A and B are shown apart, each in its own frame.
Chain A
Amino acid sequence: MRVDTVFAARKIITMNPSRPSATHVAVHEGRVVAVGSYEEICADAGAIEVDRRFADKILLPGFVEGHSHIMEGIVWTMPYVGAGDRRSPEGLLVQGIRDVEGIIERLREAADKLSDPDTPLFAWGFDPLHIGGQQLTRWHLDQVSTTRPIMVIHASFHISNVNTLILDRAGLLGPIDISGVVVDEDGRPTGELQGIAARFRVFRMLGGNPLSANLTTDDVNRYAASACIQGVTTITDLHSDLPDNTVDLYRAAAERDDFPIRLVPALASASHSPDDGIAKIERLKQENRPKLHFGIVKLVIDGSIQGFTARVRWPGYHNGASNGLWYVAPEELPRIVERYHRAGIQLHIHTNGDEATELALDAIEAAQTAMPRPDHRHTLQHCQMADAALFRRMRALGVCVNLFANHVYYWGDSHYEQTMGPERAHRLNATGTAQRIGVPYAIHSDAPVTPLGPLFTAWCAVNRVSSGGRVLGRETEALTVAQALAGVTIGAAYTLKLDHVVGSIEVGKFADFAVLEEDPFEVVPEGLKDIPVWGTVVGGHVHKAPGE
């Protein structure tokens, strides 16, 4: 047996049922060549020096984030003003802010750091639902500056708040009646902007949207650093037009030994006809290499539940809001799904509301009937409102699901009180149902919508408690720690059709590990999210997480 390195650890949790734990793992050419005890490995490997730097640490398979976005690497060019704590790509703890005064204060600090008095100040991460409904108005932002353009982008990325200067320069200040320019009861614009007309005008006036500029190497590196900090070694960019610039950057990054992630970009169906999409995937797959995996396509059917744009079945939204939006025409969906299905491409289908989930299953059923395809693994993404009957259809059709466990914590209270009501809120992101019925599942963060961090995501699925302290469906939908860890390792790898190379520590797979300071099976379930992450190993290369 040829061995480059043998790592010793306090415990290696392999997620491989035939050898669940070990103390040593041997690596050769970036892959695992042996897992076991010192005696088992060194009997074969001969006199090899053991790398003992992890001797007091716990190794898990490198975490697999099955639904996140490169945007996580872009947003950190701007100050964060959301309610929950986050880790920056530098590994610094960025405190959440829970009141408008705190937001003003943080924006002032950020403005003070800008030397040019005219440079626009952008910030991100705000959500009034997380701070008890407090609104951020232009009058608040004017307290930061009346001479510098200021824009705060909401956590949803669909809404923003701007100061008076921006409204004035964009011609949106006067009494106005344009949808998306929110006005108060006196008809005065509050500075909240939604929708395309206001976005178009304001970003033109400001000279561009910082979040949709061409991707840079720095953005990709920040994304990788954020992943490393959380123990993630395989990560998606689950909705991309994949222009040449992005593909070039991904390819160059994936060739670097110091690049600590395996990237799995999904081509956005919305920006391609199925024929173009299929041809592009075939082309892109030629670029695949150990740290870059093209091949999947993302299809978005509806909007978000908390934004009331998800398509929900009868009886609709709990508070009576009108039903949401289709992002694909319901009658067009079966045609798109069938084209990709026939081409052998795996689809990742965003469905938040249960009406959208039902429509996606109808389309997959029709495609499977027209052309039965073994192991297609089409995966429903988010799929937050599905009931047991929909999960039974998923199982029958061979569909996987990636559930948005973090939503239970971040928007559980809104779902209970406003969007779904008590009964449906309890089965939000029904991980327990998926487990019982036998639908292959993963759990995810949708970073940067919620923070990247598989241990936090696992904590959400195990504890099912909202940020307001409300327990939602814990008796029936909570996962055990082992199940939750599978949901961020081998389960997520399965939904990406990468379970043969990542997701567990076993012979033949990439030597990708998450290095933890504590054993997830020994901490109390409430402490899962607080386990410190030392860093990762990717293909045998050790990456210590940046940080304090």
Chain B
Amino acid sequence: MIAAQAAIPMTVVGGFLGAGKTTFLNRLISEAEGRYAVLVNDFGAINVDANLIAHHDGTTIALTNGCVCCSVGGGFIEALGGLLDAGGKFDHIIVEASGVGDPWRIAEIALVEPMLRLNATIVLVDAARIEMLLADPQVGATVRSQFERCDVVLLNKIDLIDRLSLERARDVVEQVCSNACVIETSQASMPNLASLHQRPARSPFYAQPCAVDSADHEITFRRWSYQRDGQFDRSRLALALAALPPELLRLKGACRLAGEANSALLQMAGRAWSLTDAGSEESSGIALVGIGTTSLPDRLELDDILDHALA
């Protein structure tokens, strides 16, 4: 698990044009806990406090709090690659998805790149407009795909609508992504990453063992841990993962694979999953932690599914 622990957490921030991504990103930057690297589509809207700017070279703004903000103008792949080449300079990478992009497609990078691990996909939704946008023949499908597979929905701009409209907005959002954690926000009450971490009772996405031990967490979400001394067979593991129930939201941890020297990092979010080389021969066996909704089946039933994958 050495390589896996060294991997940099990545958070993807998505949402349609006008949902409030920039305000949220500004908040994340100004209240950073650690050295964040933030990849944005363009600087124009990012409103970094001039007092915070240590250096600005056109494509990168270095801040006095240790964070940097990079424009992806010259190509997203190159920009993100550059951050990884910078080594352990950053504690967290935050990527802004384009207003018409699918943030999940970017999140998947963190599932296949060993230097990254997926922290969360956070999508902002304009509560006043979401129902209209989802019904729009031109952009409905684009908007829907943006938060179909996210961890957290920030249902934003709630101060601009009445209670009834808010309930309707919440309904349509939950119809699209029944498994995400929906948090109501407004421009004045945006969370930062630290405050999202402190709300485990409402946030299912921190699947690390340390983050899910609190008792009240189990009220809203059920945790499942799976430990075996053996190793998985790759092909059977694929079948087993496909057989896991949809109530399981995240599954993550280290495992050994038959015939392979190194330990592997398994990450599963929704129905998507990946196995990356954890780069270490030291760890033994299988140790996975899962998180699910309250209707997650009994642990023995889940254990049985994965036991079928043992080599």
Instruction: Give A contacts to B, CB under 8 Å.
Output: 170-172, 174-180, 187, 195-201, 203-204, 209, 212, 241, 243, 271-273, 275-276, 311, 322-323, 325-332, 355, 359
Contact = CB atoms under 8 A, between A and B. Distances in A.
Contacts of B239: 175
A197 B80 contact: no
Given A178-B272, A197-B112, A271 B138 contact: no
Given A171-B275, A195-B105, A196-B106, A332 B234 contact: no
27 contacts: A174-B237, A174-B238, A176-B274, A177-B272, A177-B273, A178-B272, A178-B274, A179-B105, A196-B77, A196-B105, A197-B112, A201-B109, A203-B77, A204-B84, A209-B77, A212-B77, A241-B74, A241-B75, A272-B42, A273-B42, A323-B141, A326-B100, A326-B142, A329-B16, A329-B99, A331-B139, A332-B17
Contacts of A325: 100, 142
Nearest to B43: A273
Given A175-B234, A271-B74, A200 B139 contact: no
A359 B137 CA distance: 13
Nearest to B18: A331
Q: Enumerate the 4 nearest inter-chain pairs by beta-carbon distance, A residue then B residue, closest first.
A: A175-B238, A197-B108, A273-B44, A271-B73
B225 interface: no
A176 B17 contact: no
Interface string B254-285: 00010000000000000111111100000000
Interface string B229-244: 0000011011101100
B76 interface: yes
B115 to A, nearest CB: 8
Contact of B81 (A204, A273, A276): A204
Contacts of B81: 200, 203-204
B37 interface: no
A172 B273 CA distance: 11
B109 A196 contact: yes
B75 A212 contact: yes
Interface residues of B, number: 45
A172 B111 CA distance: 11
Contacts of A180: 105, 108
A330 B111 CA distance: 31
Contact of A178 (B73, B111, B234, B241): B111
Nearest to A358: B138
Given A201-B112, A275-B44, A171 B277 contact: yes
A355 B138 contact: yes
Given A176-B273, A330-B139, A196 B76 contact: yes
B107 to A, nearest CB: 8
Contacts of A175: 234-235, 237-239
B17 A329 contact: yes
Contacts of A171: 112, 114, 274-277
A331 B18 CA distance: 10
Nearest to A169: B277
B108 A178 contact: yes
B301 interface: no
Contacts of A272: 42, 73
Contacts of B31: none
Contacts of A326: 100, 138-139, 142
B113 interface: yes
B249 to A, nearest CB: 15
B78 interface: yes
